[in-house]
């Protein structure tokens, strides 16, 4: 009788009965027979171990999902380092030893894999040997909107944009993310992904939102609570900061402006919220600031009802840990940096000076 496990390895139970141990005795094995016996034993033990570990893995409760890409022809050391760095392996050395048995590592196939933290090494190796469908590289940039992402996916993968947007608005998904919004806007983590060919909208959403959850730190929950903000409010503020497209050096000061305005009951008056309310990216005109929308922070008090794009971890950190300043205003400079002011008079002066530099209106947050 033969049992085939998910890795495609075959464990031949009857072979133990048929192997001529009883006739030869271990002590009388010739060198060639001893080598054959060692190879056979290693292969049989490996196959049995992988099958048993996989069987135990099936019943485990669901945990955080971690996505890992194995490139073609990656050496065992590189595969092990990647799995260990992502918290998938408890013992990298044990994984390497197991993969070396019968040169099982030669059967590892490239592709995109989803694992749970601290998975049994046998289950991991069996999965890698089984392989996954081919993958396609896809970049999800910082600050992108859900509608823009849907359009890119349609262009690059053929996935219908309306199907993706509908899946991103699933009540089950929104409940899992804890968002106040009507979609997963803000929780589509910006990163480089490798999508399986023919991946469904749900699979892609699982991948990008799982990646968001994997990057969200437990300490951020404690910090959010100390600020009197929910996670969704933090993500919303971070998405506004991201929308400013600031230089890295300005992130914490921009965050301080928004925190200071919120604490004083002032409207945020953030240009990215107006752009989002318009539904298309372009330079704002004076009439745009009067746009009637719950996202237009020139019209509403406090934060918008939900995030306005996909913030990076750096913007989330900035939203949670702003600089301590008295700034209430800032304006973008031609070089991408920002000029900050405490009073409205200083702000108007800064706008005037920057307009002279660039020959046009500066952004007036």
Do residues 126 and 52 lie in contact, with contact meaning Cβ atoms separated by under 8 Å?
no
What are the DSSP E strand ranges found in 169-270? 191-196
Of the chain, the percentage scoring pLDDT greater than 90 comes to 66
Q: What is the dihedral sign for C-alpha 241, 243, 246, 248?
A: positive
- Domain positions in the chain are 2-130, 135-215, 218-358
* Nearest alpha-carbon partner for 298 in 288, 307, 308: 288
CA distance 363 to 358: 11
CA distance 127 to 6: 8
* Nearest alpha-carbon partner for 361 in 261, 298, 288: 288
What proportions of the chain, in percent to the nearest 5, are helix, strand and coil?
Answer: 50, 10, 40
- Say what the pLDDT of residue 334 is: 87
* Nearest alpha-carbon partner for 275 in 254, 306, 302, 296: 296
Cβ-based neighbours of 198, under 8 Å, separated by 6 or more: 133
pLDDT in tens, 211-233: 999 999 999 999 999 999 999 99
- Say what the pLDDT of residue 360 is: 54
- pTM value is 0.71
CA distance 244 to 234: 16
CA distances (Å), origin 323, targets 158, 185, 255:
44, 26, 7
Please name the residue ranges forming H helices in 58-108: 76-85, 92-100
User: Tens of pLDDT along the chain (365 residues)?
Assistant: 333 333 333 333 233 333 333 333 333 334 344 444 444 444 545 455 444 444 444 434 445 778 888 988 899 999 999 999 999 998 999 999 999 998 888 999 988 898 999 999 999 999 999 998 777 889 999 999 999 999 999 999 999 999 999 999 999 999 999 999 999 999 999 999 888 888 999 999 999 999 999 999 999 999 999 999 999 999 999 999 999 987 889 999 999 999 999 999 999 999 999 999 999 999 999 999 999 999 999 999 999 999 999 999 999 999 999 999 999 999 998 888 999 999 999 999 999 999 888 765 545 56
Secondary structure letter of residue 101 according to DSSP = G
- Say what the pLDDT of residue 137 is: 86
- Say what the pLDDT of residue 189 is: 97
What is the domain class of 2-130 according to CATH?
alpha beta
CA distance 113 to 207: 10
Q: What is the dihedral sign for C-alpha 5, 90, 193, 308?
A: positive
CA distance 325 to 102: 63
CA distance 357 to 353: 6
CA distance 168 to 190: 16
pLDDT in tens, 274-284: 999 999 999 99
């Amino acid at each position: 009788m033969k049992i085939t496990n998910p890795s495609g390895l075959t464990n031949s139970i009857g072979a133990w009965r048929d192997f001529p141990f009883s006739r030869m005795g271990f002590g009388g094995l010739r060198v060639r027979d001893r080598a054959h016996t060692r190879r056979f034993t290693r292969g049989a033990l490996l196959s049995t171990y992988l099958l048993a570990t996989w069987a135990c893995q099936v019943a485990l409760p669901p945990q955080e999902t971690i996505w890992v890409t194995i490139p073609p022809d990656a050496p065992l050391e590189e595969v092990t380092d990647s799995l260990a760095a992502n918290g998938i392996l408890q013992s990298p050395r044990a994984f390497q030893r197991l993969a070396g048995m019968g040169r099982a590592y030669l059967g590892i196939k490239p592709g995109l894999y989803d694992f749970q933290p601290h998975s049994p090494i046998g289950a991991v190796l069996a999965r890698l040997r089984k392989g996954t469908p081919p993958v396609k590289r896809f970049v999800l940039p910082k600050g992108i909107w859900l509608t823009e992402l849907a359009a890119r996916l349609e262009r690059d993968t053929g996935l219908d944009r309306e199907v993706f947007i509908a899946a991103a608005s699933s009540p089950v998904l929104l409940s899992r993310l804890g968002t106040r919004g009507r979609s997963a806007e803000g929780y589509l983590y910006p990163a480089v992904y490798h999508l399986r060919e023919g991946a469904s909208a749900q699979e892609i959403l699982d991948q990008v939102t799982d990646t968001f959850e994997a990057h969200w730190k437990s300490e951020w929950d404690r910090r959010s609570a100390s600020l009197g903000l929910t996670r969704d409010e933090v993500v919303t503020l971070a998405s506004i900061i991201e929308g400013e497209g600031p230089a890295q050096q300005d992130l914490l000061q921009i965050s301080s402006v928004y925190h200071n305005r919120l604490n004083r009951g002032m409207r945020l008056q953030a240009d990215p919220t107006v752009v989002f309310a318009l539904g298309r990216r372009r330079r704002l005109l004076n009439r745009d600031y009067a746009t009637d929308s719950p996202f237009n922070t020139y019209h509403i008090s406090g934060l918008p009802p939900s995030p306005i794009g996909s913030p990076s971890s750096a913007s989330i950190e900035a939203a949670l840990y702003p600089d301590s300043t008295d700034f209430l205003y800032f304006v973008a400079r031609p070089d991408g940096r920002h000029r900050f002011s405490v009073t409205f008079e200083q702000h108007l002066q800064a706008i005037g000076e920057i307009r002279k530099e660039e020959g046009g209106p500066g952004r007036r947050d």
